[in-house]
Every structure is written in C-alpha cells, then in structure tokens.
Amino acid sequence: MSINENQSLLVYNTFHIDVAARYFTEVTTVDDLFQLQGTAIFKQNQRLILGGGSNLLFTKDYNGLVIQNRISGKELIAEDQDFYFVKAGAGENWHQFVLWSIANNYAGLENLSLIPGCVGASPMQNIGAYGIEIKEVFHELEAIHLETKEKVKFSNADCCFGYRESVFKNKYKNQFVITSVTYKLKKKPVFNTTYGAIEKELELMGIKELSSKAISDAIIRIRSSKLPDPKQIGNAGSFFKNPEVSSVRHLELKQQFPDVVAYPLENGNVKLAAGWLIEQCGWKGKRFGAAGVHVNQALVLVNYANAKGHEIYELSQNILDSVTNKFGVLLEREVNII
C-alpha cells in the first residue's frame, strides 16, 4: 500500500471534475485499512472514503486523505428455505454484482441494475430504483470505526434506512468504513414490474415469461435510453431527491398544476417527481458553458467538457430556487457536495 501526494481525482469521480487530493491511497483488504490507520498521514488529516465516485461533486481540491475502498470478493455464505445470504466486498462494482447475483439465481436485485457505484454505497445511500430500495434486500454490513479500529456489524434496523438515507449519512457520517455487505436474496422471485415503463419495455422486448434477467435487461435498456453514460458525459445520475409532501399540499398543487406527477406513499404523504418539476421550470436540455441539464432527463446535471464543480453546484442552486419559486416545493440534492 502506498500513499500518493497531490493526486488528481479526475478519473476517480464520475462527474470528471479535475481536482486534486493532498494525499490518496487505495485499500484492497481490511489489513490494508488497519495498516493505514497506524500512519501519521491518516491520524493528522481529514479523510474521505471513496468508492466509485458516482454520488459526489467536488467543488474544490481536497486538503486531506482520500481513501479509495477497493475491498473485493463475493460469495454465498448461508441459505435457508426461502433465502440466499450473499456477501460482497464494499469495493465491488455494484452493477457487476447485480449481474453475478442474477446469473446465480439470487433474486431481488434485478430492479437495481445499471446503478453506478460500488457495493459499499448501497446501504449508505439506501439506493433505489423502479420500486425497490436496498432496505428490502439488506441483511447486515460490516464496518470498521476510523478512530477506534473496532469491527462493528450493523443490522437492517441499525442502519435506520430512509429515502436515500442511513445512519452513515448523518449520525455516523465519516466515522466508519464499510468493508462488506450481506444481502438477503429470494430463492423464489417476486417480480416488481409495475413501476415506470418496465411492463412496456418487456412487451417491446417480446418477453413472454418473466425472469430476473428479463427485468434486468429491460431496466438496462430503459436507463440507457434516458441516462447518460458517465464514461461519455460526466454526471452522477440523479442529482436531486424526489420531494415528499402532504396529501393536502399535493391536492393544492394538483388544482394549480393538473398534470403534476406524483406517487402515493404508505405513510399517507405523496412523492413528487423532481424531474417533472425541474422540466416545468424550463431547465431540461439547457446548457451553460460546459455544465448543463441532460437533454433526456432533467434530474441529471452533466459536465459536457471541463466544467468546474462550483459551476455545476451553482446550476443546481438556480434549479432549486426556480422550483421553490414556481411550486413552493423545496428540492434536496441527492449528490454529496465536497
């Protein structure tokens, strides 16, 4: 294990923002992490744990130690009558892990296909798509405390999952490194095809018999048609969360904006489609120098060339302000700002 100085982070974030870290290292094992924790650089600097770099926006150089989590490995560790318990290293590529699970007939992750990032980010963000969230398939994770070096296991309840939230984004922010995640995947699939355009895509594909792979293939096609490939255009996927409002507020909005896109929630509130709100404010497809809003999906901010992080941040703030002014709804950024 080596520690580099003044390391460019251009290839380590999917927004392709060209900033530098004062110190940078990769850890591929838990022993690497323990060794790193004993160094003066680790003890004397602020730290940032980096996975796939797919859910953050750098607005400046990082004056500290960036630790890229490359801990790999995936295996079936247990099973019972109904479930497979599958463990994966936090540094595993998320989409490749999903495809591996599908190939092994471990069901439950198919709706989460083609989400960028690594396994370790899945519980941290409680990632979700097409009607499924990680909390529905999560069993436990293992993590190491950055200060005490203590190994800790977190159950589903311990993580306090919310909409794109967990204890690792608030109560325990920057306190732990997630080293592995174990998922509870079904032996008998229960397919979820009602969200979005999944059923229509399956019909276009000529699918007669549902399977995890068929649903995954459909979602890959849908996401590929709507979302830019980070390898081609810098982006971090959905930049904003879908806001939650009361049913009363939803009715008020619907009277003023009959076409407002919304989804009822179990708690009685209503989730609004942030992409629709942003599009109604005229942002979709707009470009400002090298920064812009994607032409096919208003939720996605993009770096077309050599945009600075602060330019994308300022664009996001202008979008937030316009949605508040037009609809009286406050959007939140889903992407972490550094």
Residue 249, number of CB atoms within 10 A of its CB: 17
Catalytic annotation on 212?
Answer: no
Which residue out of 101, 212, 238, 316 is catalytically annotated? 238
Contact predicate 21/67, CB 8 Å: no
What is the token pair recorded at 87? 């463990």
Catalytic annotation on 238?
Answer: yes
CA dihedral for 135, 128, 196, 299, sign (positive or negative): positive
With a CB cutoff of 8 Å and minimum separation 6, the contacts of 23 are: 3, 4, 5, 7, 41, 45, 64, 65, 66
> End-to-end alpha-carbon separation of the chain, Å?
25
Which residue out of 47, 110, 122, 164 is catalytically annotated? 164
| CA–CA distance, 149 with 38 (Å, rounded to integer) | 10
Catalytic annotation on 150?
Answer: no
The strands making up 62-69's β-sheet, listed across from edge to edge, are 4-8, 20-27, 62-69, 47-50
With a CB cutoff of 8 Å and minimum separation 6, the contacts of 80 are: none
Positions annotated as catalytic residues are 164, 238, 334
